[in-house]
């Protein structure tokens, strides 16, 4: 089961979307790294790295062709050909979990791997294992799939099976971050969930 193919450089449905203002997010939250699950053909990666900010870029994709394309395009990105949950477990493993101030872009859905909708597992892992997660920004793509009336971007009838996901309530996706982040929804494109740190710049202190 696959999404329609991702077109490299698409201005919709990725980090290049005007709905996200990525450059502002990176500057406002002093972000030093981006972690992307499901890098596809590198549209988001290319946009993020074109903004002129020094960034370490980590990513994964279960599709070997996607990894090949991205490695060719951005040789210094740190890329793994694996499913998103294994990738995050590895990145966040003790004794030295990944700790840089990060923006997480969760876009790995409906791949070849049997776990077609790993979003809640990804969010739980990041919230539980990332040091200083209260400073990080989390962006989730494709939230139009989450079938729950509490989700402002769920428009009944827009999508058919198998893209409509009703195994978890909307509140379950935001719960791991509710104490540390504020919840925002962007209705544009395929819909984004944006989790922004409650902690202010002054509380974060000098970088
Ligand atoms: C929409 S495309 C990615 C677009 C890319 N994130 C961008 O913004 O330019 C989704 C990608 O996720 C990958 N994918 C889907 N499920 C996955 C999983 N469970 N683990 C890793 N990659 C996955 C697919 O192979 C596909 O390349």
How many separate domains does the chain show? Answer: 1
pTM for the full predicted model? 0.93
Q: Which of 107, 104, 109 is nearest to 129 (CA)?
A: 104
pLDDT along the chain (207 residues), means of 10: 43 84 97 97 95 96 96 96 96 92 95 75 97 97 96 95 92 98 97 95 70
Question: Separation of 25 CA from ligand 1 center, angstroms?
Answer: 22
176 lies in some domain: yes
Q: Which atom of ligand 1 lies at the shortest distance from residue 3's CA?
A: 1
The pLDDT tens digits of the residues spanning 108-166 come to 988 755 557 999 999 999 999 999 999 999 999 999 999 999 999 999 999 988 889 99
Q: pLDDT value at position 1?
A: 41
CATH number at residue 28: 3.40.50.150
Q: pLDDT value at position 19?
A: 96
Give residue 58's domain range.
22-204
150 lies in some domain: yes
14 lies in some domain: no
Which of 14, 106, 108 is the pocket-test mutation for ligand 1 (most atoms within 8 Å of CB)?
Answer: 108
Q: pLDDT value at position 12?
A: 60
């Amino acid at each position: 089961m696959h999404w329609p193919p991702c077109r490299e450089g698409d201005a919709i449905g990725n980090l290049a979307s005007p709905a996200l203002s990525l450059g502002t997010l990176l500057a406002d939250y002093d972000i030093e790294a981006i972690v992307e699950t499901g890098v596809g053909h590198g549209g988001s990666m290319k946009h993020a790295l074109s903004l002129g900010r020094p960034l370490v870029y980590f990513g994964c994709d279960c599709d070997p062709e996607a990894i090949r394309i991205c490695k060719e395009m951005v040789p210094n990105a740190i890329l793994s050909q694996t499913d998103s949950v294994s990738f995050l477990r590895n990145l966040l493993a003790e004794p030295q979990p990944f700790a840089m101030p990060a923006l997480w872009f969760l876009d790995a859905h409906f791949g070849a791997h049997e776990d077609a909708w790993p979003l809640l597992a990804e969010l739980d892992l990041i919230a539980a294992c990332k040091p200083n997660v209260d400073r990080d920004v989390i962006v989730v793509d494709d939230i139009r799939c989450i079938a729950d009336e509490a989700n402002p971007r769920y428009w009944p009838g827009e999508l058919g099976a198998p893209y409509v996901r009703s195994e978890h309530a909307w509140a379950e996706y935001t719960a791991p971050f509710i104490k540390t982040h504020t919840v925002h929804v962007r209705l544009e494109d395929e819909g984004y969930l944006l989790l922004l740190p409650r902690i202010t710049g002054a509380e974060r202190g000098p970088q």
